[in-house]
Structure formats: C-alpha cells, structure tokens
Structure 1
C-alpha cells in the first residue's frame, strides 16, 4: 500500500510538472504573436531623445571647431529610422540613425542638381559648390574674397571647400564622411560624458558609425548620414546609398527619411495613448522575416492606411482588424503590381509635411516595379501574400482569445 501511495504521489508530481511546462510553452508561444509583446518601447524612445540631445551638443561644438575654416556647417540633426519610431526588431545591437543637415560656409554656395532622371525620388542628384564674391565684406566676414584676391594673398587664408571636400566642382560624399568623423571625435573630447563613456568611430564610405559604450556596458550604435536640405522642404539630398548597383562619390540621392519621421510624429500627436499602429508595423516586420517584401514597402502600406482609417481605430482593441487590413492592402497591391509611393502625388499627406512642388504634382511611382517587370517575382509575391494571410488567420485566434480573456477579467 505504501508503495502504491508513493507511485500516486510521483504521478501527481509529474502531471503538475507537465501542466507547468505546457503553461510556460503557451506563454512563450503567445509572446511571439500577442499585441503586448509588440507595444511601443518607451525606453528606446527616451534613449533616442537623449542621443539626439547628445548629437546636437556635439554639433554645437563642431560648429566652433570649424568656425575659422570653410568646411560645411553641420546644423540641425534629425533622428530617423525604425528604432526611434518604435517598430524596429531587436536584432543585434541597438542602432539609432541620424541625418545631419549641412550648410555652406561664407563665400560658398550649394547648387542642387537634381539629376537627369524624371522618376522621384531622384537617385543621381549632385551638389555643385561655387564660390561667391565677398568683396566689400572682408571685415564683417573675416575673410578675403576667393574670386577677386590674388593667389599670393590667399595663401594665408584657409583653403576653400573646393580644395578640401570636393571632387571637381561637386561635394564628395566620401571625403565629407571622413572629415565629419574626425570632427565628431574631436568634439567628443570636449563633452564631460567622454570621461565615463567610450566613443569609437567606424568609417563607412558614405556615412559614419559611432559605437557608444557607457559605464553600464550596453553598447549603442549611432549611424550618421549627411544631407543638404532641398529649399525649405522636408526632402534632403543625402549621403545614403542609391538603389543603383554603383553609387558615385559625388552622388547625393534624395531621401524622404525626415518627411516620413515627421509623418509618424504627426500621427502620434493625434493618436491616443493606446494607439497600436506601430505595434502592427512591428508584428508585420516580424512575420515578414524570410519573405521578399522590404520593410520600406511594409511601412508604405501602413502610411497609406493611417491616412485612410481614422486614427482612433488604431487602438489595441482593433489589432486583429488592422492586421487584416494591412495584409489585404498588400495583397491587392501585389495583384495590381503597383504600390504608390506615399509622399509623391498624394493629397492625403498632412500639410505640415513640406514637400517640393514636383513631389506634390507628379504621378506617384510604384515601389513594385520589380514585381511588374518579372513574372516569376510576381508569382512568388502572390504566393507569399497568401502564406502571410494564412499565418495571420491562424494567429488571430490567439489574439481574439487574448482580448476575450482580458475583457472578462
């Protein structure tokens, strides 16, 4: 009898262990798909704001470092990209991306040559640098006129931008990246924080990456690209890579990164605290891993829907419906082989986002040109949207059960 009781106790213990393991497995499984796992990361938002503050301090110092030179003036910085916006997936080290606006120094003018192609955003634009006559302003500007002063007299003056960061008459991205990296590192030495943190520079051809390692030993990566503002708009000619196989060092493609970041700020200002639009984007980015759709295509789909569906309908309680809307919109675009660029020819873009005239009046180009040109790619894209829809249909029952259980509670 005693041995029978012992066996029963052991069986009960094993059953309890199995139940606990099942609960843990369900929790792990659900955590991959449920909305609460993909909510906004306020810590990253605050960290991004802190890093933006730090970058602006470094820019202020850099302005003084280059004060007596004719190098470009680094001005306003913008934090852009998925990490700060709140939908980036936690893969590897945390990367924050910034765009730093450059202005010409006294005696110089930037002319933006927008390239020969008509398709927007323009990929082969360049920045031509010209010297400006400063005769009669020598004392105010504390410089000699580059155009009307003899070469002998100019020997005692800092070289012009044409002689430092240009290739021919055009601003060189690669030279600018090397120069900016050196200036930023020198500026870092003047910041009290440098006594507690390390800043290592990694130079890329067209941008700078700074590895910030604080005392808590968590490493952050700061990617900096540069840009020249197109008039007073939110569009910049930037140092980012173009979509071409080869990008010349004097090529500055148009970027919409600042305008897109401004759009998400516009939505956030009008959305409620329980808005889950970025959570939807994060879930989609998660389930798209391994598929051929880019995160920018996905982001474009979301931006179109955010202007079509009232902002109050993006709360967590609408999560399942919004996920279905996103995947349905994507499916329709694949079937039509066409996905409109969000910022071009779109009257739904908020007025506070300032766009060039040609952006407002042009026919929007398609982001699915590769799908339209290649029948095999189109067939694959159709197959993948079907797979995504099936996966979302299977997962939504978990979402529904989650909401029902929480509403009863």
Structure 2
C-alpha cells in the first residue's frame, strides 16, 4: 500500500516538474523566432536559386565554347588535309616540270637543221620577216661572195700580224728598260687573241688584239678572286672578279721576319738584315683603289698609258711613222700613222693571269656594247679569249678539209658590220656570233661542217641566233658548260659555275632588246640582196672549184 502511494506521488511530482508552464525549456521556440527563421530560409532559398541559375549559364557557356573549339579544330584539320593534298600536288608538278626541262635541255642543246626560231607571235608588232621566210643564196653564190668580199679583204692578215708583232716587241722591250723593278710593274710577253689570230677577221682596217700580262714588284703579288662560281654575287657582276694586292709579309706561307722582333744577334737567312719588309702602313699598295687592297682599273689605265708613252719616246727615232692613242677610254688603243696618210690600229690590253690557267682578267676590253658596265673600278672582266683560240684550233683538227665553220662566221660578221653602218650599233656583236658558232661546233658532228654544207650551216647559225634572241638567252660557252672537253684545261670552278646569260641585258633593257631584234631581222631581210649585190657575176665553173682550206 505504502509502495503504491509512493508511486502515485512520484508520478504527480514528475508531471508537475515537467509541465511547460512551471519550468520552461531552454530550446523552446517562441512564435516570433519562427517567423525570423522562415524569412531567413526564404532569403537563403532565393540566393541558392540565383546561384543555380548562374551555374546553369556558365555550364551552357562552357558547352558553347567547347562546341566552337571542336568546330574550329575540325575546320583546321580539313584545311591541313587540303593543304597537304595541295602541297603534294605542287611537289609532283614541280618534279614533272623539272623532268621536262632536263629532257628539253638534253634533247634540244643540239640544234636541228630546221629553223630554231619561235612563233611570230612571240614578238608582237614585229615588222621584219622571220628567218624561215627568207631564202638565203645557194652555196655557189656564197662561195663567190666569200672570194670577192672576204678572202681578198683578209689576204694581208699575216703581213699585218707580222708587222705589228715586231713593233710591239720593240715597244715592250723599251718599256722594260725604263721600269724600275723595285717600284714599277713588270710586263711580260704579249699574247695574240681574237679574230686576227683565229683567222676570221672581216672588218677593215685589220685590227690586232694583244694581251700584255703584268706582275707587281716584290714583295707584292696578285691574288685573283673569281666571281663566276659564287651564288652570292649579283647577276650583273657575274663574269667579273677582283685582284687583291698582297704583300709577302701578309702571306701566311711567307716569311715572318717582318712580324717578329728577331733581336740584334739574330738574322733572317731569307731576307737578310737590311731587307726586312716594312710595315704595311708605311708602304702604299701599287695601283690600288684608295683605302682598298684591290687593284683599280683606272689607275692601271693611267699607268699603262704613261709607260707606253715613255717607251715610244725612247724608240721613236728608229721609225718613220708616228704613234698615237686611238681611244682615250681604252688604255692600249694605239694607232700607227704613216707619212702616206694610211694608219694601222692595234690594241695592247693590260691583263692579269688567273693563277696558272689561261684565264685573264682584263681592265678594259674593246668589244661591242653589252648594255652593262662594271659596278666598281675594282671590277675586272674575266676573258676566255685564249681558251677560245685553243678550242677553235683543237676543233679544226677534227673537222674535214676545207671545213666551213669559219666561213660561216665570217659571212655572218660581214652582214652584221654592213647592218651597223645602216642602222648603227645594237646589242648584238661579233662575240655573240662567235659564241653561237662555238655552241654549234660542240653539238654538231665533225662531218656536218664539210665545205659543201656552207649554206645549211650558215642558215643554222642565223637560226640559232634568232632562237636565242626570242628567248633572251645565250649562255656563255665556257662558264657553267660541262660539255667542254676536259683536255682544254678549263678550271673546275668555272666548269661547275652557274651558266652566264650573255643576253641578260635584254631582259632589263626593253628598248635595247627591241632595237637589237629590229636590226637583226632587217639584217636577215637585207642579206639576200646584199650578197647578190656583191656577187653580180658567178663563173659557170665556180661550183666545181675545189674546197678551200682554212688554216688556224
């Protein structure tokens, strides 16, 4: 019983204690707090909604950027594929063009008997008739023309050469006797070059061209620098070079006594004690441009003219004629004046030998205007005149007796000289005719140059010139021509050089090209009438004459 009452009391007490009105709980939420919480939750919900919208926008933007990048990458890949295909096609086309060009050069270097000229449309507005429309005289007419107008005019060539060579020997000997070997240049024996020594001289008066090599005094020597084998040289300076004047004490292989203090007790066995090389600053290099170690062509010209004048005054009393300079801009252009009023011109050209070869650097060369001039007074023209003479002499030994190669060159040169008197000089000169003949000699068989084929070979020579003019391309015969026989001894640097285009001035000067082409076609048009005029009467038995021999 007691325990029952105690239990009831305990329940009542517990209920009273836990009643919220008597003992309020600490975590109890009043109505106003619930409203605040609800408001904050609404604000938080709005923020979360805005953040969700922002994130959705960023995700959409990233997706758009990714799609754009994928599209750009796809387009770039397509472009690369198309570019690769185009590059492959371009490479194949280039290879094909190179193969065609190599085939064309290999098969067309040897000219065909037909006219090599291009289509008439290649020269718009050309009034002159193309070569294939001109009928050249037959062999009988050409033979008679040659006998009357060329062979007779050159009959005195041997006597002229003999007279000029004897006088030049005396003149150079006098020059050597006046020169101081310690200070002056030393001249060597002359070398005959060009048409007079190749037996195709046509123009009168007969003109001898003589190279006069010279060397510097000790302790100097010449160091030639070839430009034909360098790809860095501008096109307008190909075929030229420079001559560097080097002292012996500047040579790495020379003596070093001038660069080292030997002391009082030491003596150079090569130079001795009193002949030590002076410092470079105390000695001025002879005939060089100011501030340059390279030989100056203008100073060489003045030196050579003064030296020839002094030499002539020394021997003038032995001769009954006068000697004068023919052209002031050419150092060795001389003219002998006889008391009868006749004169005999000749050229003494100062040259420098290129190493141990037959190449020579020429200060001034009396040749037809080429349209280009040296860029500097230290530029020297490279001459192959001695090699040309050797090649013609070597080739003539393999040709049949009475070969017509020089006859063709003489007739073409005669026609060109007559045309010059009518229309004046043009860009086409005798050297171009000679170069064309050398190319034909190298490409033709020796049996093709028989005397009976004079008319065919003359026509082919003129056709070759016409084709070269139309293409504005006539390669130098030696520079870059690997078909030249090795027995000629041409330097390997010249053989492996890039080909030199002698007609390059026509590419740069259109007026010169037009004048040259007009003059060439007018020469062709006048050729039949000119040859007929000089061949008014042809003997009936002229065609049966034996072939004429040309001796080199």
TM-score band (shorter)? 0.7 to 0.9
User: Which residue number corresponds to residue 16 of structure 1?
Assistant: none
User: Which residue number corresponds to residue 502 of structure 2?
Assistant: 367
Distance 2:274 2:403 in 1: 54
Counting only pairs closer than 5 Å after superposition, residues 193-272 of structure 1 correspond to structure 2 as: 194-201=318-325, 204-205=328-329, 207-214=331-338, 217-240=341-364, 244-245=372-373, 247-269=375-397
Aligned mate of 1:287, from 399, 415, 439:
415
Q: Is the 8 A contact 2:353 2:360 kept in 1?
A: yes
Q: Deviations over 1:78-106 (max 9, x none)?
A: 22233443434435x44322221122222
Moved more, 381-390 or 300-309: 381-390
Q: Is the 8 A contact 1:62 1:187 kept in 2?
A: yes
User: Which residue number corresponds to residue 549 of structure 2?
Assistant: none
Aligned mate of 1:324, from 443, 455, 459:
459
Q: Deviations over 1:105-125 (max 9, x none)?
A: 220121223456165973552
User: Which residue number corresponds to residue 177 of structure 1?
Assistant: 301
User: Which residue number corresponds to residue 469 of structure 2?
Assistant: 334
Distance 1:376 1:165 in 2: 37
Q: Is the 8 A contact 1:173 1:206 kept in 2?
A: no
Q: Judging changes above 3 Å, is the alpha-carbon distance between structure 1 residues 74 and 334 closer, same or farther for their aligned structure 2 residues?
A: same
| TM, length-normalised to structure 1 | 0.74
Q: Judging changes above 3 Å, is the alpha-carbon distance between structure 1 residues 44 and 110 closer, same or farther for their aligned structure 2 residues?
A: same
Aligned residue pairs, count: 369
Deviation at 1:245, TM superposition (A): 4.4
Deviation at 1:375, TM superposition (A): 7.0
Q: Deviations over 1:277-297 (max 9, x none)?
A: 333222212223247422222
Distance 2:281 2:503 in 1: 56
User: Which residue number corresponds to residue 406 of structure 2?
Assistant: 278
Say which structure, 1 or 2, has more relative contact order (CA 8 Å, 6+ apart).
Answer: 2
Counting only pairs closer than 5 Å after superposition, residues 39-118 of structure 1 correspond to structure 2 as: 39=151, 41-91=154-204, 93-114=205-226, 117=233
Distance 2:320 2:299 in 1: 30
Q: Is the 8 A contact 1:208 1:223 kept in 2?
A: yes
Q: Deviations over 1:45-81 (max 9, x none)?
A: 3422442343244334433432433322211322223
Q: Judging changes above 3 Å, is the alpha-carbon distance between structure 1 residues 205 and 337 closer, same or farther for their aligned structure 2 residues?
A: closer
Q: Is the 8 A contact 1:207 1:225 kept in 2?
A: yes
User: Which residue number corresponds to residue 276 of structure 2?
Assistant: 145
Give the gaps of 5 or more residues in structure 1.
1-29, 152-159
User: Which residue number corresponds to residue 406 of structure 1?
Assistant: 542
| TM, length-normalised to structure 2 | 0.57
**2:285 matched to 1:162?**
yes
Give the gaps of 5 or more residues in structure 2.
1-140, 250-254, 258-267, 546-552
User: Which residue number corresponds to residue 123 of structure 2?
Assistant: none
Aligned mate of 2:488, from 353, 356, 361:
353
Deviation at 1:364, TM superposition (A): 1.9
Moved more, 372-381 or 291-300: 372-381
Q: Is the 8 A contact 1:45 1:86 kept in 2?
A: no
Q: Judging changes above 3 Å, is the alpha-carbon distance between structure 1 residues 408 and 235 closer, same or farther for their aligned structure 2 residues?
A: closer
User: Higher strand share goes to which structure?
Assistant: 1
Deviation at 1:174, TM superposition (A): 1.9
Q: Judging changes above 3 Å, is the alpha-carbon distance between structure 1 residues 216 and 303 closer, same or farther for their aligned structure 2 residues?
A: farther
**2:35 matched to 1:35?**
no
Q: Is the 8 A contact 2:362 2:381 kept in 1?
A: yes
Moved more, 31-40 or 316-325: 31-40
Q: Judging changes above 3 Å, is the alpha-carbon distance between structure 1 residues 66 and 373 closer, same or farther for their aligned structure 2 residues?
A: closer
Deviation at 1:387, TM superposition (A): 5.0
Q: Root-mean-square deviation (CA), in Å?
A: 4.0
Q: Which has the larger radius of gyration?
A: 2
Deviation at 1:223, TM superposition (A): 1.7
Deviation at 1:167, TM superposition (A): 3.1
Aligned mate of 1:127, from 226, 239, 243:
243
Q: Is the 8 A contact 2:175 2:307 kept in 1?
A: yes
